[in-house]
């Protein structure tokens, strides 16, 4: 049977191979904040008969289609970095709720165009402020930020690293 690790070995690992414990690990701190946010969003969206992923997908369909151009489920999957099959399942649920309409593209194959319906737009009018409030209650509060900051408190002040950070974010967004 496997032997239980000693407390000294665990302490040595934490002090030498990590940031000193979960409270000092930025990944863990962000994970906790994100999960608090997600729980709060799920709570407020429950009253609107939406899951968080359904909400995000609905927002993406609305955003991508805002210019009137035809968009596909694949466009939504790419833009949202969501697996195509998951988008397909979510769109099916949104169609069933009357929030999205979809039709097979004329060239055939598995491609579907998607668009938000008037009912979907009305639902977003209710959901967007509720989700923004959830963001204020969790992320803004947990990070000790003033409402309006997107990334970090110094975002509104010119600094030599801002241009570098924005270029880095743009590069990440491309991939």
**pLDDT value of residue 109:** 67
Does the structure show a pLDDT above 50 at 156? no
Lowest mean pLDDT segment, chosen from 59-73, 75-89, 132-146: 132-146
Lowest mean pLDDT segment, chosen from 13-17, 129-133, 159-163: 159-163
Q: Which residue has the tokens 């309006």?
A: 148
Does the structure show a pLDDT above 50 at 76? yes
Whether 72 and 112 have beta carbons less than 8 Å apart is answered as yes
CA distances 81 to 35, 56, 62, 74, 77, Å, are 19, 11, 16, 10, 6
**CA nearest neighbour of 59 among 128, 9, 1, 135:** 128
**CA nearest neighbour of 49 among 130, 138, 139, 113:** 130
Q: Name the β-bridge partners of 116.
A: 100
Average pLDDT over residues 95-107: 91
**CA nearest neighbour of 147 among 128, 132, 166, 125:** 132
Average pLDDT over residues 162-173: 61
Half-sphere exposure of 86 (CA within 13 A, CB side): 11
**pLDDT value of residue 160:** 54
Average pLDDT over residues 23-44: 82
Does the structure show a pLDDT above 60 at 23? yes
**pLDDT value of residue 43:** 93
Average pLDDT over residues 131-160: 64
According to DSSP, the β-strands at 71-72 and 100-104 are unpaired
CA distances 110 to 98, 99, 103, Å, are 21, 21, 11
The rounded distance, in Å, linking the Cα atoms of 169 and 36 is: 24
Share of the chain above pLDDT 70, in %: 74
**pLDDT value of residue 147:** 61
DSSP for residue 147: T
């Amino acid at each position: 049977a496997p032997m239980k690790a000693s407390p000294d070995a665990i302490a040595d690992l934490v002090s030498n191979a990590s940031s000193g414990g979960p409270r000092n690990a930025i990944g863990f701190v962000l994970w906790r904040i994100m999960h608090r946010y997600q729980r709060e969003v799920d709570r407020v969206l429950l009253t609107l008969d939406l899951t968080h992923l359904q909400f995000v997908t609905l927002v993406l369909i609305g955003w991508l289609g805002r210019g009137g151009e035809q968009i596909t489920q694949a466009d939504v999957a790419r833009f949202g970095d969501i697996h195509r099959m998951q988008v397909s399942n979510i769109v099916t649920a949104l169609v069933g709720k009357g929030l999205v309409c979809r039709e097979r593209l004329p060239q055939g194959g598995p491609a579907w165009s998607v668009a938000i319906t008037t009912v979907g737009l009305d639902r977003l009018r209710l959901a967007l402020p509720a989700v923004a409030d959830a963001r204020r209650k969790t992320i803004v509060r947990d990070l000790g930020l003033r409402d309006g900051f997107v990334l970090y408190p110094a975002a509104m002040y010119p600094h030599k690293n801002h241009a570098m950070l924005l270029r880095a974010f743009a590069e990440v967004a491309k991939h």
